[in-house]
Amino acid sequence: MPPKLAPVWLDYRARLLALVVALVGLVLWAGGLGAALGGVMGDEGAAHAVAAAWLTASAWALGRFAAFRCPFCGKCFHWTLWFANPIAAACLHCGFEKWRDPHAARALGRR
Ligand SMILES: [Zn+2]
């Protein structure tokens, strides 16, 4: 049985999943789903409302993912003032590796 993830990483996974769903939706929309939906519903206004809601939700998901804080140092995990890496395997501030248990790391007193 794999070791249990710390709750902070479960939250990270939920944020990442929301962002991936939002991006897949945007790609599908750009691929013609919006036009098809507007044709099925027969009302372009409703399709535009759905598009606006999806864009808003996508921006929210992106902001929520970007705001994820390192469970070890408390700073933004994926970006610094001059650099951003949304797929970073470790905190860009302290080097704390993704998926590690922050409580165990603190108990050990090292990263
Ligand atoms: Zn950190």
- Reading the chain (111 residues) residue by residue, the pLDDT tens digits are 667 888 999 999 999 999 999 999 999 988 887 777 767 767 778 888 888 999 999 999 999 999 999 999 999 999 999 999 999 999 999 999 999 988 888 888 755
Whether 9 and 51 share a structural domain = yes
Cα(44) to ligand 1 centroid in Å equals: 46
**Which residues make up the environment of ion ligand 1, defined by Cβ < 5 Å?**
70, 72-73, 91, 93-94, 96
Whether 39 and 87 share a structural domain = no
Count how many domains the chain has: 2
**7: containing domain:** 1-67
Rg of the chain (C-alpha set):
19
Cα(2) to ligand 1 centroid in Å equals: 24
Whether 43 and 77 share a structural domain = no
Prediction pTM value: 0.81
Identify which of 86, 65, 76 has the alpha carbon closest to the alpha carbon of residue 13. 65
Identify which of 81, 87, 24, 26 has the alpha carbon closest to the alpha carbon of residue 54. 26
Whether 61 and 106 share a structural domain = no
Cα(55) to ligand 1 centroid in Å equals: 30
Question: In angstroms, rounded to a whole number, what is the distance separating the alpha carbons of residues 59 and 57?
Answer: 5
